[in-house]
Structure 1
Amino acid sequence: MSGNLGAGSLVILPTYDERETLPATIAGVREHLPGADILVIDDASPDGTGVLADAIAAESTGVAVQHRGGKLGLGTAYLQGFRHAIDHGYRFAIEMDSDGSHRPRDLPALLVAAEDGAGLAIGARWVPGGEIVGWPRYRRCISRTGTGVARVALRSQLHDLTSGFRVIDTAWLARLDLESIDSQGYGFQVETAWRLETMGCPIAEVPIVFVERAGGRSKMSSAIVLEALYGVLRWGWRLRFPRREPA
């Protein structure tokens, strides 16, 4: 594998209590995208994830850590990472979980799709070749239902709007109004993918194997699911009944 694979890319790893899984995630990224840089954004993890990230960064080139004062949410962490990628001239910003559910071995395929012209390459579970390992039936049902509702409400052609494993061309990120995005969790992923789709961004859905987290506890909650549902219904309403500007 070329040691330059991933050059010009920034892998953004938001963390909150991911001490058990972060080292393996970083090691996996370095193995499969050795040319990429890594930015860990830690929300003052009580388990010491931020301290561990600092220790890894001190011994590794291309790894940086940004610390935030509290648990500010996944969406704001990615927005911070997007701005960093744009400001520092990276060609691609990569979203990836730190808990082991996104396999680093799938990164090259996503990056190839982006290099071939996809402004957004989504690691998709609900396409031929995609797979989920270790999820109970109810979680599969929530994810499939959420994606189905979003596709209908937003008139989207995408099959996995909620996937958080993505490569995004920063030229397209720069065209988004990042300041107006305030969703978190599933809602953030749906909103950003849908906005890019409506802008005409070329999108590729690349099949991946999604694995239940390797350690720690899931951050998923009913509040996050309800926020995403509310956002999807609100955006769908505006899509069908746009506000008319006064003459």
Structure 2
Amino acid sequence: MPSKSPKPTSRAAALPHDWAATPLTVVMPTYNEAGNLPGMAEALMALDLPGLRLLVVDDSSPDGTGDIAEEYVRRFGPERISVLHRAGKEGLGRAYAAGMSRAVADGARYVLQMDADGSHPVSKVAEMLGVALSTGAGVTIGSRYVQGGTLSDAWGAHRRLLSRWANAYAGTILGTRVRDITGGFNLWREDALRAIDLGSVDSAGYSFQVEMKYRALRRGYGIVEVPIHFEDRTIGESKMSLMVQLESVAMPWKLRARAR
């Protein structure tokens, strides 16, 4: 099933009150994001979305990110921010699966994947929720590669080419028309997550993004892509290891073979 892209907008969306009050949980995995988490938490809490909650999934960050998250729980209250502390670093995919499962169990109607490093624009959260509610899409992607989507100027030619190639590689092998199948800024409808069965997802690293979208398509859920500007992180380092890259190369073939 091809994905669709709504017309880009130049300003932050303002939602009707009933839509803005939709139970929405932002799941944000963290590992050594002490320099980034405060700004992200402040920005999310400032949105005119009374139904929004932030769930920080911290993998025992040595820099004290988990303690900082708990400070924000005390500041805004557990009904707005909560923390899932995990014993250690097990990979981005495992952290997302744990957090998304918790969010669904706690009553979220929509669950948003969002990085803590500032690369995903907080200003697009309301628009993505509005698109999800108006179209009925099972997945709404904050997309770098539909019309209107842009990348940070800090990205060099090699990184841009590698990202484009990764999307084309996975999309071609799996036979999808999703333009940003590797992207990590994704809004999920609760029933789509239940249908996917998060506990059975194999990916530990970044290939989680590909596996999840492919599973959604296989189960008949529609995907809509909303253009975003993807910013480069300014604090900290990327968590992309060699093992994670190898998993990302192999996973599309595993998914294709399993589907057959």
TM-score (norm 1): 0.92
* Per-residue Cα deviation, 1:46-95 (whole angstroms, up to 9, x for no partner): 11101111111111131011111111111111111121122111100110
User: Are 2:148 and 1:129 equivalent residues in the alignment?
Assistant: yes
1:205 aligned counterpart, secondary structure: strand
1:24 to 31, 39, 46: 39
Residue of 211, 223, 236 corresponding to 1:216: 236
Alignment check: 8 A CA contact 2:94 2:205 kept: no
Q: 1:55/1:3 Cα in 2 relative to 1: closer, same or farther (>3 Å)?
A: farther
Instruction: Please list every run of 5 or more consecutive structure 1 residues that lacks an aligned counterpart in the other structure.
Output: 243-247
Matches of 1:34 and 1:46 in 2, distance apart? 32
Alignment counterpart, residue 185 of structure 2, candidates 137, 155, 165 = 165
Higher deviation after alignment, 138-147 or 119-128: 138-147
Q: 1:7 to 1:33 in 2, by over 3 A?
A: farther
1:112 matched to 2:127? The reply is no
Q: Is the 8 A contact 1:6 1:33 kept in 2?
A: no
Q: Decide whether aligned partners of structure 1 residues 6 and 125 sit closer, same or farther in structure 2, where only a CA change above 3 A counts.
A: farther
Question: CA 1:33 to 1:199, structure 2 compared with 1: closer, same or farther past 3 Å?
Answer: farther
Q: Which residue of 2 aligns with 1:37?
A: 53
CA apart distance, 1:236: 2.4
Q: Secondary structure at the match of 1:40?
A: strand
Alignment RMSD, CA only?
Answer: 1.6
Match of 2:208 in 1: 188
CA spacing shift, 1:214–1:33, aligned 2, 3 Å: farther
Judge which range, 45-54 or 170-179, deviates more.
Answer: 170-179
Q: What amino acid is aligned across from residue 84 of structure 1 in structure 2? A: R
Q: What SS does the corresponding residue of 2:233 show, helix, strand or coil?
A: coil
Q: What pairs with 1:193-208 in structure 2 (closer than 5 Å)?
A: 193-208=213-228
Q: CA deviation at 1:32?
A: 2.6
Indicate if the aligned counterparts of 1:151 and 1:158 stay in contact, CA closer than 8 A.
Answer: yes
Q: 1:53 aligns with which of 61, 69, 74?
A: 69
Cα shift readout 1:103-144 (whole Å, capped 9, x = no counterpart): 100111111111121110001101110001021222111111
Q: What is the CA distance between 1:31 and its match in structure 2?
A: 2.0
Give 2:101's match in structure 1, choosing from 70, 80, 83: 83
The CA deviation at 1:168 is: 0.3
Q: What residue is the counterpart of 2:175 in the other structure?
A: 155
Provide the identity percentage.
Answer: 37
Question: How many angstroms does 1:180 deviate by?
Answer: 1.7
Could you tell me whether the CA contact under 8 Å between 1:85 and 1:170 is conserved in 2?
A: no
1:194-229 C-alpha deviation (Å, 9 max, x unpaired): 110111101101100000012111111232121111
* Deviation larger for 179-188 or 89-98: 179-188
Find the aligned partners of 1:166 and 1:33 in 2 and give their Cα distance: 20
